[in-house]
Amino acid sequence: MSKPLVLAADASEELRRAIRHYEDERPGLGVELADLVEKVFHGLASGTLRPVTVPGLPLELGVRRVLLDRFPFAIIHADEPDAIHIVAVAHLRRRPGYWLSRLPARKQR
């Protein structure tokens, strides 16, 4: 069972900034982040990755996250019938929940 991924523009920009930051910090580190995120995206699309719920959100919203190894980020996504919508590449130590307004309208509280 494979679903297409839809990457929100804001999430794409967050990912670009994070990759640039880590690449500036140490050459090759940004590429490692990009590779890891690509693997997570593939796992989500193919259904082989098991995301976890987001603390504080009702289960029925269907909003999940995948915590990245080695990097303080989570891939926040909403599983819809037609696609998996990536709403944020969220830094875990900054502005919790800032991405809630990006959820599809029927998933917002």
Strands 52-53 and 63-67: antiparallel
CATH of domain 5-95: 3.30.2310.20
Q: Return d(Cα 23, Cα 103) in angstroms, integer.
A: 29
Output the pLDDT for position 109. 47
% of the chain beyond a pLDDT of 90: 62
For the chain, domain boundaries: 5-95
**How high is the pLDDT of residue 106?**
55
pLDDT digits (tens, 9 = 90+) for 30-75: 999 999 999 999 999 998 998 898 988 888 888 999 999 999 999 9
